Chain A
């Protein structure tokens, strides 16, 4: 702490300002500028052969109010909520177990949580296609154990998308939960037990409130990317399971309606920002 004293004083911060420059230039050129271009395109209109015609219009946003598109947004929200909920249910016990494990085991468990990141996400999604296929691992396993007689169609269903999303984003839930749970002093749990709390009450009255920052961070880290998920619904969900991400890709690359795709992108972004704003208004917690 004392070693970074120079960076804590206002003068030190001013002197260190130039450290921001490389990242600012990079983000400005390759993030903010393209985003502004997409924003502009969302107010343009589609040319007859797919180009962008620079006439200002709100038509793209009006078009998005079509029930068909609304349905896609609604589906995406439902998928993202279900993914978040499932990740929380699966991730909390796991994170709690790791946080309470002996210190020498915690590193190993955390590494195992992160192992999937060593392989490309696309490759892992193809692997899931193999598992979920009609003649895939899961169906053969179920048939061999006599649970089913006919192969069940899982691949190219909503269930496959949900499985894929939960699989893909579970680590983003586990890590912040672990960080929050690991900080909870064990003697607080003993104190609650000592003060007549049952195991369940200790969980609801002590562990959950103290893990709240981790729960919120984990939920946001899962909800936001799964709302805009693209690869998973594209590969595991097939044509019937379109989410916002697929819709945007479809507008850009298949229909070549860049303005509508851009507008859809900004509505997605607005939804996320509105969610974050609502969370801050409601919870009054520190900004994330």
Chain B
């Protein structure tokens, strides 16, 4: 199970003078839900199109099940894609769309019928087989696109911003459903998205991309709690940031000087010594807000003034003014029914422990 289902080796793709994909290497295990996450223009869609065969790498190689597909045209690759805007054939019915790939491969009529109806059952579209795509809702079209790709049982299923065109509610439902379907069929999924929540929810592993390169690959928890770079930390989830310099290292702890603030204590980042410029990254849900000024056992205390208090239903979100440059976001779950415990203008203290921050080289 650990043999890579798909492997990219030093792949380079240029579009004119810009490098869309820059010496990209990663591998995806069989049966894995793998997401490529990045801002627009990071090269993630080009990567997907290279795997599908719509683009040809300028350098490097792509292997599917250990076999190079560098010179294999898209129609002969064991890969199917769910397109961003679904690309359903408007002149074919739902079942015509789903059957297309099977018909192209010359599969017997009876088998096509049973596989199409099984695929439509799986995406909960049974009974809509005679509709044309234009007669379906966005969510239904999305399911047809998924069924049309799944029915072929490809070695790798590619999804290009699969939920991008859906509204928030449907998007969250489909995140869970996509993951469930993937586990059910056991196929390798590679999903491209710019939506970090989507990537974290569905994936076994996530690759964060920027400027045509992979910055970090790992399980969602690792990427979120232990980002390898400032870019990853700030791209994934909200983060509050302090820029400073390491003053002293004591065992696994270090003391960081931040201009205008008390000394900050944090875990030592690997290979960092005194004098090193670093950023301390703090997740909004890891901070504790209190009206007491005393540390009360916390390693760090920073005074702040409440700038804004926003009620979000399940949580309160506070904007805290630390100094004239720093405005932090803190999230407090509404376990108690959501009283506004702090009001704009209140003076509070923000407290956290050394192991609740991540220190990254600048």
Q: A190-B54, A195-B80, A197-B75 are in contact. Are A185 and B101 (CB under 8 A)?
A: no
Q: A187-B83, A187-B85, A197-B75 are in contact. Are A192 and B100 (CB under 8 A)?
A: yes
Q: A196-B75, A196-B101, A196-B104 are in contact. Are A191 and B81 (CB under 8 A)?
A: yes
Would A197 and B104 count as touching, CB distance under 8 A? yes
A-B contact pairs, 26 of them (CB 8 A): A187-B83, A187-B85, A188-B87, A188-B89, A190-B54, A190-B74, A190-B83, A191-B81, A191-B83, A191-B87, A191-B88, A191-B89, A192-B89, A192-B100, A193-B53, A193-B73, A194-B81, A195-B100, A195-B101, A195-B152, A196-B75, A196-B76, A196-B105, A196-B152, A197-B100, A197-B104
Contacting residues, chain B, for A188 (C-beta < 8 A): 87, 89-90
Q: Is the C-beta of A9 less than 8 angstroms from some C-beta in chain B? A: no
Would A195 and B148 count as touching, CB distance under 8 A? yes
Could you list which residues of chain A lie within 8 angstroms of chain B, going by C-beta atoms? 185, 187-188, 190-198, 201, 205-206, 209-210
State the majority secondary structure of interface residues on A.
helix
Interface bits B104-141 vs A (CB < 8 Å: 1, else 0): 11000000000000000000000000000000000000
Nearest-neighbor residue (CB-CB) of B52 within chain A: A194
Q: How far is the CA of A187 from the CA of B87 in the complex (A)?
A: 6
Would B91 and A209 count as touching, CB distance under 8 A? yes
Q: Which of B54, B88, B105 contacts A193 (CB 8 A)?
A: B54
Q: Is the C-beta of B79 less than 8 angstroms from some C-beta in chain A? A: yes
Q: Which of B52, B100, B148 has the most CB of A within 10 A?
A: B100
Q: How far is the CA of A224 from the CA of B194 in the complex (A)?
A: 53
Nearest-neighbor residue (CB-CB) of A190 within chain B: B54
Number of A-B contacts (CB under 8 A): 58
- For residue A122, give the distance in angstroms from its CB to the closest CB of chain B: 42
3 closest A-B pairs (Cβ-Cβ)?
A: A195-B101, A196-B104, A191-B87
Q: Which of B52, B53, B84, B89 has the most CB of A within 10 A?
A: B89
Q: Which of A185, A191, A201 has the most CB of B within 10 A?
A: A191
Q: How far is the CA of A198 from the CA of B75 in the complex (A)?
A: 6
Nearest-neighbor residue (CB-CB) of A189 within chain B: B87
Q: How far is the CA of A185 from the CA of B105 in the complex (A)?
A: 23
For window 159-214 of B, CB contacts with A under 8 Å fall at none
Given A194-B52, A206-B89, 7 new contacts (CB under 8 A):
A187-B84, A190-B52, A193-B53, A193-B73, A194-B81, A196-B101, A196-B152
- For residue A283, give the distance in angstroms from its CB to the closest CB of chain B: 14
Q: How far is the CA of A191 from the CA of B160 in the complex (A)?
A: 12
Contacting residues, chain B, for A210 (C-beta < 8 A): 90-91
Contacting residues, chain B, for A190 (C-beta < 8 A): 52, 54, 74, 81, 83, 87
Q: How far is the CA of A274 from the CA of B91 in the complex (A)?
A: 28
- For residue B62, give the distance in angstroms from its CB to the closest CB of chain A: 15
Nearest-neighbor residue (CB-CB) of B49 within chain A: A190
- For residue B104, give the distance in angstroms from its CB to the closest CB of chain A: 4
